[in-house]
Chains A and B, each alone.
Chain A
Amino acid sequence: MWYSGVRVRWLAGAVGVVGLIGGACRGAGSRESGVGSRGAGSGSGSGIVVVDGDGDTVRLTHAAQRVVSLVPSATDIIVALGGKVQIVGRTRYDRDTSLASIASVGGGVDPDLERMVALKPDLVITWAPSKSSVLREQLHAQHIATYATPTRDTAAFFAVESALGALIGRDSAARALATAIRDTMAAVHAAVAGRPTPSTLYLIWGDPPMTVGPHTFVGELIGVAGGRDLFDDATTDWPRVSMEAIVERAPDVVVVAVGEDAQRGAERMRDAPGWRSLGAVRAGRVVPVPADLMERPGPGLGRAARILAQAIHPEVK
């Protein structure tokens, strides 16, 4: 339901990027471009009411003061909104050293429930979809509110950002951050507007090759940065693709996500049959980008767009 609405918007809009930037130009008050309009909003009298990624209504009587975040991008958003003091629990995937003093509850999908309950949270941020998750039931049985975080595209990011702002009582900071990110994306897009759009292969991981579909936030950011997703016809969001299909489609640019462990995948990629024959590889148009920044729909979205634009259009300063 939530996703299909987004997809319809994408299919209906002639060029998604134009819609996105259009939303940005209308400024912070404009909510049409994000699904957040359905939920994000707080009434001082009746408490806080938002709709999460599962389409469920989340109600809080007061702004959450003890939040356990199981979603690293949501953790980053809360920190960016100045709500670090309200976070009491994080996952082992939150690698930012400034969060080291906050208790870890383990993994994001398989957290330690006992440790979570012991932290006495008033809100737990979970991954969407969570409808069938046992964790959600267990938390609700303990009368702990949950917010399921959609992470698919940029519209989902803006919806989450706005909803989290409401839930932790930092609406105005949320509006300011959304405006700043929309402005950055609009500026990035303006700088590359009118230029040719090189076909861009974004490699999340090389073994086996895994890339991004057009309706993911990374796929959208490629468009913002003036490129064209090499697999913009993919029917899944994070497709595994064959080397044969990559060679046949002959990308102009290859963007490789590298991180602590992705580095190894990128190195192994170099030995994959067919890799060296790629025009982009021989022309030296293989650009490493930081995986942690690029693959989290968090407050770094604007910076991610800028990095992609530099990779795709190095001629634009």
Chain B
Amino acid sequence: MKHGRSVGMIALAGLFVVACLVSIRAGSVSLGLGAVWDALLGRGDLSTVTIVRDLRLPRTAAAVLVGAALATSGATFQALLRNPLAEPYVLGISGGAALGAVAAIVLGVLLPVPGAVALAAFIGAVVTIALVLRIALGVGPTLDTRVLLLSGVVVGAFANAGIFLMLSVADVNSYRSATAWMMGSLSGSTWSGDAALAVQLIPALAVLLFLSRPLNAMAIGEETAAYLGVSVERTKWLAYGAASLLAAASVATAGVIGFVGLIIPHAVRLIWGSDYRVVIPASALLGATFLLLADVAARTIAAPTDLPLGAVTAVVGVPVFVALLRRKG
């Protein structure tokens, strides 16, 4: 069992490396490995150098970071809330982020500085997280995960209503930008955005890996976990905080990309079982690989048009997941 698991992980790591290479080579212009190498060194055709260095590399890095963040966040929420439908967005985080982003686009409240929309989205997400926690804590002395889930859904619905109200008075160009943002895209990826994401992703991922043993116990039940010596409240707070941060940072970078946070952890559990010491890192790796390939599809299928990534993840992912379910069933 242990041996088979490590073979599987090595295979997944290999797939991840291949996906990274494909992501740098493929696009509306397909490049050979030699051309990619030259471009990385700054040699050859100027437009190819720009495409590889300024567009594809930051975009590939963003796909890795966002995919890993969403999948890890989803895995954590599913353990924490003991609900297979839990994902980053069910707690209202995407709704709050989208409200922030749409407000920035439609109302133009922020000056057109780089990253203004991402910043507004991040603020929206953080405000939502705080609001959801505040509502959940208002109900009882401890953090009841069922109440947390409910308040997330309610706050998310409220944010959606706000988005619809704003879009109904938006001018046509803001409407275009806002809907494109809500369908998710990595086309605006920059190194500075990637760095901001990495700064949040790496500590949050470390915290969640550290929490994988308590999360294993929590997945059975809070009382059992307490008997096993887990400090339940601390675990809940830390895990909720880290997973929310991951979701907020990735939505701010890439817009709303559904499906990854929901399905990738399930796929990992179907393949490797539900030990969170494996589920957390495997989800990060599989999420990154999946989003890399989905983004390649988004860039190439209808080139020179970029397809919305949030739609591609579902269109590509659902059949794969159904096949996986049937194989296991």
Q: Do the two shown chains form a genuine complex with each other? A: yes
Q: Which residues of A contact B (CB under 8 A)?
A: 205, 207-208, 210, 231, 234, 236, 239-245, 247-250, 260-262, 264-265, 267-268, 271-274, 277
Q: Which residues of B contact A (CB under 8 A)?
A: 27-29, 46-47, 50-51, 54-56, 58, 108, 112-114, 171, 173-174, 176-177, 180, 185, 187-190, 299, 303-306
How far in angstroms is the closest Cβ of chain B from A299?
A: 21
Q: Which of B28, B47, B114, B180 contacts A240 (CB 8 A)?
A: B180
Which residue of B is nearest A208, CB measured?
Answer: B180
How far in angstroms is the closest Cβ of chain A from B187?
A: 6
Most interface-central of A208, A265, A268 (chain B CB within 10 A): A208
How far in angstroms is the closest Cβ of chain A from B250?
A: 18
Q: Which of B28, B50, B114 contacts A277 (CB 8 A)?
A: B50
Interface of B is mostly: loop
Most interface-central of A207, A260, A267, A272 (chain B CB within 10 A): A207
Q: How far apart sit A256 and B113, CA to CA, in the bound complex (Å)? A: 19
- A261 CB contacts on chain B under 8 angstroms: 108, 171, 173-174
Cβ contact within 8 Å between A277 and B304:
no
17 CB < 8 A contacts A-B: A207-B180, A208-B177, A239-B305, A243-B187, A245-B29, A245-B303, A247-B55, A248-B28, A261-B173, A264-B108, A264-B173, A265-B173, A267-B112, A268-B112, A272-B188, A273-B58, A274-B55
- B55 CB contacts on chain A under 8 angstroms: 243-244, 247, 273-274
Using A205-B176, A208-B306 as known contacts, say yes or no to A273 and B54 having CB atoms under 8 A apart. yes
Which residue of B is nearest A239, CB measured?
Answer: B305
- A241 CB contacts on chain B under 8 angstroms: 304-306
Q: How far apart sit A210 and B177, CA to CA, in the bound complex (Å)? A: 10
Q: Which of B27, B173, B180, B190 contacts A262 (CB 8 A)?
A: B173
- A260 CB contacts on chain B under 8 angstroms: 171
Using A240-B305, A242-B303, A244-B299 as known contacts, say yes or no to A264 and B112 having CB atoms under 8 A apart. yes
Most interface-central of B51, B113, B173 (chain A CB within 10 A): B173
- B46 CB contacts on chain A under 8 angstroms: 277
Q: How far apart sit A208 and B178, CA to CA, in the bound complex (Å)? A: 10
How far in angstroms is the closest Cβ of chain B from A57?
A: 31
